[in-house]
Structure 1
Amino acid sequence: MTHAFSRTAFSPTPQAPQLPTMPTGWPIGSYDSYEEAQRAVDHLADKDFPVQEVTIVGVEPLLVERVAARLTWGKVLSSGAMSGAWFGLFVGLLLSFFTPGAGLAPIVIGLVSGVVFGMAFAAAGYAATRGRRDFVSHSQLVARRYDVLCQPRNAESGRNLLAQLAMSGQRW
């Protein structure tokens, strides 16, 4: 007989599955934001509920890309120069540590080389897009709602605790 959860001498609680699996359990709450679902599970934990039987499931995932700024040659080159400067400074410091009597020369050479190569690589990358992506953005995975599931043996008591939380009207 195999079990879905394995226990080891070091871990008294069930381990999460190693491969992606569909969540199991009965719904005991549904929330519009992850923060609200997290608050619900925290409430269950505060009431000594066995939270190891609880899962938060994001339903209808969406990839949201928020545009942060317009990308220009000036921004591309300055960003490339800055990142190149950090890398060049790092290499220059390493060279100065391992070259006896070298003074500041390896640091300055590393810094200048880093700036030049950083700008060149940034310019090549930006030129390769040919204006098809002239903006900077940040992607985020969100869900339309977040369901809190619980294993059947404790679902009813979990649902009752979450109903008490909802009726209390407590906010963060």
Structure 2
Amino acid sequence: MLTDTAEHRTVVGTYPTHEQAQDAVAFLADNGFPVQRTGIVGSDLRLVETIVGRFSRARSAAAGAGTGAWFGLMVGMLMGLFSPQSGPLLGVALGGLVYGSLFGAVFGLISYALTPGRRRRFVARSAVVADRYEVLADHAVADDARNLLIKHGWRAGSTLTS
């Protein structure tokens, strides 16, 4: 659903990628156009999930160890700073790092074992992408924006659709 501001705007250019739409708005800004009167709207959104690898026991243990190491290091440093009987700061911090890594790795393995069946036994990266991106401008300045973007299309060697 469009916002109140988007309803009072006109499409001045359509681009296949978000980067191209941003480049068009940057071109408008570079040419003194009041870009606060523009916007970018993505249409026909879809979720794209890219599988980057298997989520194995080793990967689960390593991820848990990494998280536990940071937590253990932080706890160890706080104990070393604020507890006078805890010993030298470096030793306490390293001890926290080691224990945190061990507990984190165990927790990662337990989490992996408790995952039901084959559910989520892979690592994925999700992104919401649009089929097209429209650059909008307020009605009062839409013709100026469209004319500038036509020049931008000529310079970039691309086509501008509206």
Tell me the TM-score range normalised by the shorter chain: 0.7 to 0.9
1:114 to 94, 97, 100: 100
Q: Are 2:66 and 1:82 equivalent residues in the alignment? A: yes
Residue 81 (structure 2) aligned to one of 79, 97, 118: 97
2:151 is equivalent to residue 169 of structure 1: no
- Summarize deviations over 1:74-113 as a string: whole Å, max 9, x none: 1111221122122111101111111224325633542333
TM-score normalised according to structure 1 size: 0.80
Unaligned runs of 5+ in 1: 1-19
SS at match of 1:164: helix
Q: 1: CA distance between counterparts of 2:151 and 2:83? A: 69
Match of 1:61 in 2: 45
Confirm or deny that 1:21 pairs with 2:3: yes
**1:15 aligned partner:** none
How far residue 127 of structure 1 moved from its aligned partner, in angstroms, is 2.0
Q: Alpha-carbon deviation of 1:115?
A: 2.0
C-alpha displacement of 1:167: 1.9
Higher helix share: 2
The farther-off stretch of 91-100 and 20-29 is 20-29
Instruction: Please give the alpha-carbon distance, in whole angstroms, between the structure 2 residues aligned to 1:93 and 1:46.
Output: 49
- Per-residue CA deviation, residues 25-50 of structure 1 (Å, 9 max, x unaligned), is 11100000111101111111111111
Deviation at residue 124 of structure 1 after TM alignment: 2.6
Q: Aligned equivalents of 2:97 and 2:26: distance in 1?
A: 49
Query: Percent same amino acid at aligned positions?
Result: 41
Amino acid paired to 1:169: A
Q: Which residue identity does 2:98 align to in structure 1?
A: V
SS of equivalent to 1:49: coil
How many Å apart are 1:134 and its aligned residue?
A: 1.1
Query: 1:13 corresponds to which residue?
Result: none
List alignment gaps of at least 5 residues for structure 2. Answer: none
- The amino acid of 2:26's aligned partner reads D
For each residue in 1:120-169, what CA deviation from the matched residue of structure 2 results, as whole angstroms up to 9, or x when unmatched? Answer: 32123222222211111111111111000111111111111111111223
Indicate the RMSD between aligned Cα atoms, in angstroms. 2.0
The alignment partner of 2:84 has SS state of coil
Letter in 2 for 1:143: A
